[in-house]
Structure 1
Amino acid sequence: MSTDATAKGRHPSGPRTLHTALVAGVAALGGFLFGFDTAVINGAVGAIETTFGPGSLLLGFSVASALLGCAAGAWFAGPLANRYGRIRVMLMASLLFSVSAIGSAAALDIWSLTAWRVVGGLAVGAASVIAPAYIAEIAPAGIRGRLGSLQQLAIVIGIFVALLSNYLIATGAGGATEPLWLGADAWRWMFLAELVPAVAYGVLASRIPESPRYLVLKERLTEARAVLDRFVGGDTEERLDEIRETLRSVRTPRLADLLGPRLGLLPIVWAGIGLSLFQQLVGINVIFYYSTVLWQSVGFSESDSFLITMITSITNIAVTFIAIATVDKVGRKPLLLSGSVGMFAALTVMALLFGNAPIVDDEPQLGPVAGPAALIAANVFVVCFGASWGPVVWILLGEMFSNRIRAAAIAVAAAAQWLANFAVSTTFPVLSDVGLGLAYGIYATCAGLSIVFVAKAISETKGKELEEMPESSTTEAAR
């Protein structure tokens, strides 16, 4: 390449894709901890019920309590990231993850466990906002979708590692309520295992560069130029000018920037909130919070239930690679639409199977045909979600908003996501007491509605630079 090109700010070899992927992978470790924290409760929920004896409503609240912390963490992470930087928020999240792991393992009753889970939720919520925003801001447009998918890949790997850890710990102790090392029950060691990735996240996050858009916001242009040159490539000076133009206001972005004519918010913000809500209202986290006790309740042994849950998690990891391979080729919107159709079909089958199962000792009993059919339908549901709504929502939340409102808009959308997750997770034990057919019927209805929502409200962002994102309109949705 000519010296003129180099003088203009182009890196002679273009963006360093491998380096960028490694840096994005470190940021996505927040997603790993997000997934681990989400799933660790799966293996412990039965033991917690036995140990502390809460009723269905209190048990559901305790399981979902972390999600209240998630909503708060997501809400404040954006403003904190704009004030102190993306990296410092990652370090804060690492500390909170570590404290929560120790506190949950040492919980004396259901209320102290709930409190420590909320602390962990603060970290999950912060990581859920920072990782997609950071990855979107440091990645070249041509590979941004694939790198954004690392967030979801890290989440599902975290889920799998937590479930595998739960299985090994429970098997080693002879049951989740049995003592393991140092006289502590196995379920307590399930929580303590999170300490290892939490510390690793903090150490690695301290080694990666700050977001170029944050550096421009703080007028640290020399550092921003170096990061863009190393990780994004192209004409660095032109890119700096584009970022400066979209960040023309020198004040820190505020939630007031999101106000608009439709029900008080900009249409693009409502689109982000809708994505977050539907991602949770289809009931995906019921699979990862309650599947072990769910499969036990319909006739599978504890060991088989742990194994089934791990197989489902492996399936989730595998299909995430499908999204990584296709999202920058097929686009975001087609993946969401196809995923919605598949989820609607699978959830409808599950609703019919559980709704028509005979009740024995107040529990639905799936027969030799209905049992395998329900397992297949559950895994089809996970396949459709994992190849579409799982990764694509995080990609879109990281890239669909303009630079001026991105941090605040992601915070609002992520907070809505965690509140929806809380509502679904808290109500599932109560709904299952009424009937699993009703629960899965509600999730199937939400999956059907998501088809209409995506078709009408979501714009395609494939291949667009972040500086091209609209600030107030979703009128390109039909294109």
Structure 2
Amino acid sequence: MSLEETTSAQPDTHGIGLAILITTVATLGGFLFGYDSGVINGTVKGLQVAFQSNSVGTGFSVASMLLGCAVGAAAAGRLADMFGRKPLLLMSAVFFVISAWGSGIAGTTNEFIIYRILGGLAVGAASVMAPAYISEIAPPHLRGRLTSIQQVAIIVGLTAAFVSNYFIVKVAGDSTAEFMMGFEAWRWMFWVELIPAAIFFFALFLIPESPRYLVSAGKKDEAHGVLTRLAGEQKAGVVVKEIEDTLAADHKPSLKDIFDPEGKGIRPIIWVGIGLAVFQQFVGINVIFYYGSVLWEFVGFTEEDGLLTNVIMGAVSIGAVLVSMALIDKMGRKPLLLIGSIGMAVSLAVMAGVFSMASVTETGLALPAGLGPVALIAAVIYVAFFNFSWGPVMWVMLGEMFPNQVRGSGLAVSGFFQWIANFGITMTFPILLATTGLFSAYALYAIAAGISVIFVFKFVKETMGKTLEEM
């Protein structure tokens, strides 16, 4: 329950300032989510050289974080109910710091994987808790805009990682070359994350705990103080009482909620949520985010040019997300998903077609003259369509489509499958690259995008303008 559901009073100016501060701090978790996901892009070559890993080993090193993400996302809700939103975000910040330092200092593949899994726990928890925390403190008239900032923060974090990687390699000359203090450039790519991770940790001490959690933990006086700062003294007591009444009437979250009470198996709405989560990954977007520099080097680009391409992809992603935010409450969720699926299917098919005409060389693939730019433009269009549609819209729909009594379990199950699908795609790409090649990989992603058109058209219901009860 958010302040929107407990009071319609407009907060004073001080309350707006506090809400914006809380949102800024909480979305640093989203920024780190994006940064931690994107930084691996420029380090793949360094990992291969440092750990002498094959395609399977490299794939697992890159994808290992996602196992932690799945666990972190699945456990975050329950842990936040037990210990509070703020302590869980503080623990995530600690894990971000440990992961950033350890990933850079790791001397073996096993050490690296352990640190990346710790980072994954932080990413998974932040991906769930940051938007939930914001929604519980945001004033009614700012709630939608403040909550949507999380997705922008994720893309900005990805882009920041791409920019950082690019400049480090530009100075060092290569990701495996020495950058500073005797350490290779790829290690410094991870260590740069220590700066925003430390800022996130200390900034969390500036913001209060969620008033909903404080009331549920029996700390009514603290909740009253927070609500006074957010909604004003006049409404604080009323809101505390309304939160108490709602908590008393609430259905306690349980994984049993995913099953139909009449014994008909898993609820259809849960299957739709799982489908949205899985298709978002099966279109292969994280291949671009995790392996972009290696991909473009493989088809003839220099490492520096490959990393610069990532920066362009990040800028396009930010622009596409902003356009989506402007249209999602006007056009609706389902039309954006359909447009995105069609656009991705076409652009992925073009990429697959281009790569099917490539010839194998000792260093990778050689594309026929003039087709390199075609593949690059198709990739940029693909990224734009994804971030215009499935990137932000999937998370919006998962937050809206589940009725109150199954929202917690529905989000947990869908989030778990999303990260597992992400792991599967990330793990298999280097294997496909080393065996059947880029054509088969992008052909599979194009097929998945095509099937997603049918899935959205037949099974996904529009949520714009509808209450959870109507859903």
The residue aligned with 1:456 is 458
Q: Is 1:82 paired with 2:94?
A: no
TM-score, scaled relative to structure 2: 0.89
For residues 131-280 of structure 1, what are the structure 2 equivalents within 5 Å? 131-139=130-138, 143-220=142-219, 247-248=247-248, 253-260=253-260, 264-280=265-281
1:26 offset after TM fit, Å?
2.1
Partner Cα distance (2:281, 2:457) in 1: 18
The residue aligned with 2:327 is 326
The residue aligned with 2:301 is 300
Structure 1's 371 and 346: CA in aligned 2 closer, same or farther, altered over 3 A?
A: same
Encode CA deviations 1:200-245: one digit per residue, 9 max, x unaligned: 1122223223334434444555655665676579988887777656
The residue aligned with 1:383 is 384
Q: Does the CA-based 8 Å contact 1:355-1:437 persist in structure 2?
A: yes
Encode CA deviations 1:415-437: one digit per residue, 9 max, x unaligned: 11111000000000111221211
Pairwise CA RMSD: 2.8
Partner Cα distance (1:421, 1:98) in 2: 23
The residue aligned with 1:339 is 340
The residue aligned with 1:102 is 101
Partner Cα distance (1:129, 1:255) in 2: 17
Encode CA deviations 1:157-212: one digit per residue, 9 max, x unaligned: 11111111111222222211112222111111111111111111122223223334
Partner Cα distance (2:140, 2:340) in 1: 24
Structure 1's 255 and 263: CA in aligned 2 closer, same or farther, altered over 3 A?
A: same
Q: Is 1:284 paired with 2:285?
A: yes
1:339 offset after TM fit, Å?
1.4
238-247 or 397-406, which deviates more: 238-247
Q: Does the CA-based 8 Å contact 1:138-1:232 persist in structure 2?
A: no
1:11 offset after TM fit, Å?
3.5
Q: Does the CA-based 8 Å contact 2:9-2:231 persist in structure 1?
A: no
Partner Cα distance (1:185, 1:273) in 2: 41
Partner Cα distance (2:235, 2:446) in 1: 48
Encode CA deviations 1:1-54: one digit per residue, 9 max, x unaligned: xxxxxxx87246599656534422322211111111111111110011012111
Q: Give the secondary-structure state (helix, strand or coil) at the position aligned to 1:180.
A: strand
Structure 1's 166 and 41: CA in aligned 2 closer, same or farther, altered over 3 A?
A: same
Query: Which AA in structure 1 matches 2:454?
Result: V
Structure 1's 455 and 243: CA in aligned 2 closer, same or farther, altered over 3 A?
A: farther
The residue aligned with 2:3 is none
Partner Cα distance (1:120, 1:88) in 2: 17
Partner Cα distance (2:228, 2:401) in 1: 24
> What is the aligned residue count?
462
The residue aligned with 2:350 is 349
Q: Give the secondary-structure state (helix, strand or coil) at the position aligned to 1:108.
A: coil
Query: Which AA in structure 2 matches 1:449?
Result: I
Structure 1's 330 and 238: CA in aligned 2 closer, same or farther, altered over 3 A?
A: farther
1:395 offset after TM fit, Å?
2.4
1:347 offset after TM fit, Å?
1.1
1:379 offset after TM fit, Å?
0.5
The residue aligned with 1:437 is 439
The residue aligned with 2:368 is 367
Encode CA deviations 1:333-366: one digit per residue, 9 max, x unaligned: 2222221221111111111111232333373322
Q: Does the CA-based 8 Å contact 2:298-2:363 persist in structure 1?
A: no
76-85 or 361-370, which deviates more: 361-370
Q: Give the secondary-structure state (helix, strand or coil) at the position aligned to 2:178.
A: coil
378-387 or 227-236, which deviates more: 227-236
The residue aligned with 1:310 is 311
91-100 or 361-370, which deviates more: 361-370
| Structure 2 unaligned blocks of 5 or more | 1-6
Partner Cα distance (2:8, 2:355) in 1: 61
Structure 1's 32 and 401: CA in aligned 2 closer, same or farther, altered over 3 A?
A: same
Q: Is 1:125 paired with 2:127?
A: no
Partner Cα distance (1:334, 1:243) in 2: 36
Q: Give the secondary-structure state (helix, strand or coil) at the position aligned to 1:265.
A: coil
118-127 or 242-251, which deviates more: 242-251
1:141 offset after TM fit, Å?
6.0
1:123 offset after TM fit, Å?
0.6
Q: Does the CA-based 8 Å contact 2:155-2:317 persist in structure 1?
A: yes
TM-score, scaled relative to structure 1: 0.88
Structure 1's 25 and 325: CA in aligned 2 closer, same or farther, altered over 3 A?
A: farther
The residue aligned with 1:4 is none
Encode CA deviations 1:379-398: one digit per residue, 9 max, x unaligned: 11111111121112222333
Partner Cα distance (1:240, 1:355) in 2: 63
